[in-house]
Amino acid sequence: MRAHSGMGIDMANGTARRTVAVIGGGYGGSAVAKALDEETDVVLIDPRDAFVHAAGALRALVRPDWAENIFFPYDTLLKHGTVRRGRAAAVDPGGVTLASGERIAADYLVLATGSDYPFPAKTDTDLAGDALARIRDAHAELAAAGRVLIAGAGPVGLELSGEIKAVWPEKHVVVTDPAEELMPGFLPELREELLRQLDALGVELRLGTALAEEPPSAPGRLKPFTVTTTTTGGDAIGADLWFRCYGVRSNGDYLADGRITARDAQGRVPVTERLNVVGHDHIYALGDLTDLAEAKMAGYAMKHAEVVAANVLAQVRGESPTGTYRPSPPSVLLPLGPGGGVGQVPTPDGPAVLPAEQVSAYKGRDLFTGRFAELFGITRD
Ligand SMILES: Cc1cc2nc3c(=O)[nH]c(=O)nc-3n(C[C@H](O)[C@H](O)[C@H](O)COP(=O)(O)OP(=O)(O)OC[C@H]3O[C@@H](n4cnc5c(N)ncnc54)[C@H](O)[C@@H]3O)c2cc1C
């Protein structure tokens, strides 16, 4: 039997409360910590001082007056548990060691460290104040740019093109991607509608086009440049500023010693259908960090959190965990500004494409900020 860290006593039945260390307070980690807060001693570990709602990050860039809405300080998330600012440096079956050297013993571990993505889609600073300043700086430079190059025509690059056009319809926005097709794996009708809306917005889409080298300026910095492409003839693209919209990276360096698990080629953690890290019945992983065969999405990370919370609670109560997770079929809500965009959802009759009005109503209008205000127990005007 594992030793118990003995951090608290359940006053209702006199039994020792179990400690759950949740590593990473993103979408999945925050949700699982909240769900376990009543019945366990939760310690949520994250180097940031606030949860960052990445799905709103691109709107924050073009609307600095709105940007604060994507930050939710952790201090209102938990009623009983604690939030520890710090970065996990190593884990073992009995707990977590932080980069500071501090050790946090735990009965259960939830690995929820997600993934990083280049700015502006995800922020690269730990303090919300610094991140806001960075967003506002980039906004000022973007506002002064006439021509913008977006490298990468995945959902992030396309969403960014729509946000820029919604605020500055006159700016020239060109989006490049080496792939020949947009949104592979989705319905042809979704692609057609996407192309139609991008065209109506005046976004120049250059598929089958790779940049011969990275632009010489840092992303998000106003500094006119010309880059050549690898298309036949190697034509050039000139712009005043560019953004890198590719390059997701799993956050699992603290697993590098291999004590808990080996990771796959993308740095992802193998999990069972109960979302246990393979080989460990009291260690779970969720969200972008997992090797689940589905798109990496916040909505799924929050579904994983429900399964993990149910299984941990069952174990804590002395029952057998029975929650299982089946990877979700493709779905997407891709806004192009507050009023446009495309979407596809699974239905009992197969995948269905959503009209722009529905994408706007579900996501584009407020980018789910209301839902996170609720999770963090705060009210905003
Ligand atoms: C622009 C953009 C728009 C998006 N829109 C949507 C959308 O509309 N719908 C959707 O479903 N998905 C969307 N996504 C995808 C979504 O953001 C990710 O799937 C989601 O962030 C994954 O959540 P997660 O809980 O796994 O981890 P993350 O949200 O990545 O959070 C991980 C947390 O772990 C912390 N951390 C990292 N390393 C350590 C460490 N060593 N120790 C402690 N803590 C650590 C980080 O600080 C972070 O807070 C979008 C992504 C982007 C970039």
Instruction: Tell me which of 127-141, 225-239, 261-275, 315-329 is least confident.
Output: 225-239
| pLDDT over threshold 50, residue 97 | yes
Cβ 275 vs Cβ 325: under 8 Å: yes
Candidate from 158, 251, 289 with most ligand 1 atoms within 8 A of CB, to mutate: 251
pLDDT band at 119 (very low <50, low <70, confident <90, very high): very high
Pairing of strands 95-98, 103-105: antiparallel
Half-sphere exposure of 56 (CA within 13 A, CB side): 25
Residue 10 has pLDDT above 60, yes or no: no
Model's pTM, two decimal places?
0.94
- 23-52 mean pLDDT: 98
- What is the average pLDDT across 323-339? 95
Question: Residue 91 in contact with residue 111, Cβ under 8 Å?
Answer: yes
Integer Cα distance of 157 and 123 in angstroms: 16
Most informative mutation of 43, 46, 49 for ligand 1 (most atoms within 8 A of CB): 46
10 CA → ligand 1 middle, Å: 33
Q: Which atom of ligand 1 is nearest to the CA of 120?
A: 1
pLDDT of residue 231: 79
- Rounded CA-CA distance 166/216 in Å is 27
Q: Compute the mean pLDDT over every residue in the chain, rounded to the nearest whole number.
A: 94
Per-residue pLDDT for 233 more than 90? no
Read off the pLDDT of each residue in 210-232 and give the average, rounded to a whole number. Answer: 93
What is the distance in A from the centroid of ligand 1 to the CA of 13? 37
Q: Is the pLDDT of residue 218 over 50?
A: yes
Please determine, for residue 193, whether its predicted confidence score (pLDDT) is greater than 80: yes
